[in-house]
Structure 1
Amino acid sequence: MPYIHFSEQEKELAKQADIVRFLQAHGEQVKRTGKEFAWDSPAGKVTIRENQWYSQYEQTGGGAVKFLRKFFGMTYPEAVRSLLGESAGQEIRAAGKEKPKPEPKNFSLPPPHSDMRRLYAYLLSERGIDRDIIHAFTHEGLLYEDAVNHNVCFVGKDDTGTVRHLHKRATNPLSDFKGNITGSDADYAFHYTGKSDRLYVFEAPIDLLAFLTLYPAGWQEHSYVALCSTADRAALRMLKDHPQLKQVYLCLDHDSAGIEGAYRIADSIHSLGEYQVYRLFPAHKDWDEDLKARMGKNAIPAGEHPKLAYIAEKTAELKGLSLEDTDEYIKYKRMPADLFDDTMRKLERLKKQIIASDLTEKKESCATEMARTAVAFCVLRSRQIGKPITVEVLADQMAKLYKPHRDKQNISSQLDSIGYDLKEIREDADKSDAQTKTEIEWQIRRMLLLGLSCLQLGGSISLSPTVAEPTVGQGASY
C-alpha cells in the first residue's frame, strides 16, 4: 500500500469539513434542532454543529476526520479523501516490489486419543472442574485429549458443526503450554450456546469451565464464549449469529489487561446495537484462581487498573469541592460576565506551568487544579442558563466517561491535545457575542471533557516512572 502525504492545509480543511453535508450526501437522515443537528448512529444519538460532533451515549466528540474514522470505520487517508476528494494527498510508493500476500494457513486438527484419562485427571484433580461439566463438553465434541502430546483440546465449531478453532493446553502440571493451533478462526473460539438471552464472556477456556463449576445452577440455559485472548471477535460473532442474546456479562480477568479488555469489548458490543453489558469480577485474578482458592490452594490475587483507580480517587476528591470558597465563585458573584475569560486565562496559565516545571508533584498539582477549574466553570455556567448542575453530578459523569483502553497518549501528546481543546473552546466562543442556551450547553460539555483530559494527564504524570529527586540530607552541604 502506498503512503499518502497530506499537506497541512489539506489536513486543516478536512478537520473543518461540514459533517452534516457528508451524511446527507451518503443518504443518512439528520434532524435539525436549532443551530445543531441530530443523527442516530448505531451507538446512539450524536449532536452535530458544522465540523464538530458529540456522542450523547459515549460522552465524547471531535472533528470531521475523527467522525468518519469512528462511525464509518475509515483509516485516516480514507477519511481525508472522503471529505476532500480522491485527488487529495500525494501517494508515495516505496521502492522495490510489494511483499507477496501470505499463503492461507492450513487448519489441521490433532488426532484424538483413544481415551481421555489424562484430560479427566488434569481437569478434575489439578483444576477442580466438576465432572458433570467436563462430561457435558466432551459429549458435545467440544473437549478431547490429543493422541500425541495428551493436551486438552478446546474445540470451537460454527453453526453447521464444522470445527473452525482449536485451543490446546498442556495436561502436565509442570508445563504452562497453551495456544491456538495454526489456521484457527478467532470468530469461532471455544463456546457453548444455550437458549436464554444471556452471554458470558471469558478470556480463557479454563476460566469458563471454572466459572461453571463455581456457579453451576441452570448453566445449560445460557451461552458462553472463551475468547482465547482479550480480542472481541468470538463474542461479536456469538451476538451476530444468535439474535436472542441481549444481556452480556464480561467475565474477564481482574487485572489491568482484563479491565481494559472489558471496556474495549463493551464498546464493540454497543456499536452492534442495543445490548445490556455488565461486568462480573472474580475475587482473585481470574475464575480459575477463585476455584483454586475454594480448593484451599494458593491463588493469585486480583490487580486493579492504576489509572482507573487514580481517576476514581480524584473524582471522589472533586465531590468534596466547596465551590463557595473558591476564587472563581467570589469573583463570579461580583462579575458573572467575566467567568469564561477568567477561566480560560487560568487554564492556559496552569498549562504553561506544567510545561515549565521540572517537579512531578508540581506538574500533577497543576493538572488536577485545571480539572477543578473546569468543573467549577461547568457548575457556574450551568447556573447562568437556569439549568444548575452540581459538583457531585459532574464528578460522577467524569468517572463514568473515563475509558482506560482509550487513554494511551504520552504526556507530551496529552498536553498538545489539551492545548488544542483550549484553542477550539476559545475560538468557538469568539464566533458570536451572545451565545444561545444550546451553545452554552455545548460549551459546558466541552469543558467537562477538558477537565477529564486534565485528570488523565495528572494520572500519567503521577504514574510515570521518574528519577528520584534529591532530598535534604543527601550529598555534601556547602
Structure 2
Amino acid sequence: MIFLGISQKKFSDEQIELASNINIIAYAQSRGYDLKRISNNTYKIPGYGGLLISGDGSKWNWFSQNKGGGIIQFVMEMEGKSWVETVGDLLGISGIELPTIPKVKSVETKGEMQLPKKNETYKHLFAYLIKSRNIETSVVTEFVDKKLIYEDQYKNCVFVGYDLEGKPAYASRRSSRTTGEDFRGDVRNSDKSIPFYYQGEGDTVCVFEAPIDLMSYLSLLKLHGIKNFSHHMISLGGISDKALDGFLKSQSDIEKIVLCLDNDVAGNTACQILNAKYKTNYEIVRHVPKGKDFNEELKNMKNAMIGMAREPPEDYKEFQDFEEEMEME
C-alpha cells in the first residue's frame, strides 16, 4: 500500500476524540478571530452573518449557511481544510494545551420535587399579577382553578408544571414584591423537561420564556376579542429548549411551533437556534412582541386603552394576523 502524505494518515479513536474536544472559543481566540459575546451563552464572529458559538465552546451554527457542528467542522469551514488536515492540525494545537471541553460528570439522582407550602391567601398573587402585571382577572382565576399557579407561604407566586401522569414535576417561584430585590428561580429538583403548560387543541404550540409572558398573551387575546384561539402554550423557564423538546416528544401531533420569546438579544438568538434545530420537522413561525416581551406589550396596551372605553387602539388590530407576517427565514 502506498501512502501519499497526510491525506492518507489515519488517526486512532483516542486522537479523534482529543481533537473533537478542543474548545472552539479557545481555538478561535488563538487564531485571532474577533469574538464578541452577545449573551452569557453565545458568542459571534462579526463579518460572518448568523455564525454563533455556544458559550461553552462545544458547538457552532451558521444559520445563513445552514452549517454547524463541533470544532472539526468549524476549522474545515473557516479555513478550507480537509477532515484529515484539520484533525492533524488540531492534534498539533492540543500540544500547547488549549482548553478542552470538560467531560460531563455523572449526575446524582435527583430527589423528588416538593412543592412549596401554600399560603392561606391568594391576595398577594392576585395583586401582583392583576395590578402590577396587568394580566386579566379571568386569566389569573382560570390558572388558579386549574392549579397551575398559587401563592406560597412567603408570598411568592408559584407556577407549576405537571408530568404525563398529572403529577407536579416542575415549579418556579417569583416574588410578588413590587419594590426591593426581585426573587425568582426554579424549585429544587424541578424537571426542566416538563414545561409550564396551558393545554389547547390542534397541532400548534406557542412557546414563551416565562409563565407571565404566556398569561399576558392570553390577556392580549381576550382584549383583542380573539375567541377562536386554541393553540397549546408552554413556558421554557428561560431560553433552554429542554421543556420544548420534552413537550414535543410527548405530543406527537404537533406540526407547528410559534416562537413567542422576548424581543432582546437573548430571545432573538434563541429563536435563531430553535429555528435551525426544529425547522426540518416542524413549521416554525415567530410572533415578535411590541416591546421587550408580551407583558410589556400588555401594559402598553392597557395604558393606551385608558379613557377609550376599553377598545383596542387601531395599531393593535394586526395582532391576530401575526402568522402571515412573522414567518422565520
Q: Same fold (TM over 0.5)?
A: yes
Question: Structure 1 residue 227 and structure 2 residue 236: aligned?
Answer: yes
Residue in structure 1 matched with residue 284 of structure 2 by the alignment: 277
Question: Structure 1 residue 159 and structure 2 residue 164: aligned?
Answer: yes
The equivalent position to 1:255 in structure 2, one of 253, 264, 268, is: 264
CA distance, structure 1, for counterparts of residue 69 and residue 235 of structure 2: 35
CA distance, structure 1, for counterparts of residue 207 and residue 172 of structure 2: 16
The equivalent position to 1:246 in structure 2, one of 247, 252, 255, is: 255
What SS does the aligned partner of 1:111 have? coil
> 1:78-134 deviations in whole A, cap 9, x for unaligned?
xx8xxxxxxxx99x9xxxxx9985533432210112231211111111111111111
Residue in structure 2 matched with residue 172 of structure 1 by the alignment: 177
CA distance, structure 1, for counterparts of residue 69 and residue 144 of structure 2: 50
By percentage of residues, which structure has more helix? 1
Determine if contact 1:105/1:182 at 8 Å carries over to the other structure.
no
Residue in structure 2 matched with residue 213 of structure 1 by the alignment: 219
Residue in structure 2 matched with residue 236 of structure 1 by the alignment: 245
Question: Structure 1 residue 265 and structure 2 residue 265: aligned?
Answer: no
Unaligned runs of 5+ in 1: 1-7, 15-54, 68-75, 81-88, 93-97, 298-398, 401-478
Using the size of structure 1 for normalisation, the TM-score is 0.42
What aligned pairs does 1:71-90 form with structure 2 within 5 A after superposition? Answer: none
Determine if contact 2:259/2:284 at 8 Å carries over to the other structure.
yes
CA RMSD of aligned residues (A): 3.8
What SS does the aligned partner of 1:295 have? helix
Relative to structure 1, is the Cα distance of residues 277 and 122 closer, same or farther in structure 2, using a 3 angstrom cutoff?
same
Relative to structure 1, is the Cα distance of residues 9 and 222 closer, same or farther in structure 2, using a 3 angstrom cutoff?
same
Bigger relative contact order (CA 8 A; separation at least 6): 2
Determine if contact 1:231/1:265 at 8 Å carries over to the other structure.
no
Give the superposition deviation at 1:13.
5.3
Give the superposition deviation at 1:178.
0.9
What aligned pairs does 1:289-304 form with structure 2 within 5 A after superposition? Answer: 289-296=296-303
> 1:436-477 deviations in whole A, cap 9, x for unaligned?
xxxxxxxxxxxxxxxxxxxxxxxxxxxxxxxxxxxxxxxxxx
What aligned pairs does 1:141-156 form with structure 2 within 5 A after superposition? Answer: 141-147=147-153, 149-156=154-161
Give the superposition deviation at 1:59.
3.9
Using the size of structure 2 for normalisation, the TM-score is 0.60
Relative to structure 1, is the Cα distance of residues 58 and 169 closer, same or farther in structure 2, using a 3 angstrom cutoff?
same
Give the superposition deviation at 1:181.
1.4
Relative to structure 1, is the Cα distance of residues 108 and 213 closer, same or farther in structure 2, using a 3 angstrom cutoff?
same
Determine if contact 2:66/2:276 at 8 Å carries over to the other structure.
no
> 1:398-427 deviations in whole A, cap 9, x for unaligned?
x95xxxxxxxxxxxxxxxxxxxxxxxxxxx
CA distance, structure 2, for counterparts of residue 137 and residue 279 of structure 1: 25
Unaligned runs of 5+ in 2: 12-61, 75-82, 88-93, 98-102, 305-327
Give 1 or 2 for the bigger CA radius of gyration. 1
Which amino acid letter does the alignment assign opposite residue 114 of structure 1?
Answer: E
Relative to structure 1, is the Cα distance of residues 12 and 115 closer, same or farther in structure 2, using a 3 angstrom cutoff?
farther
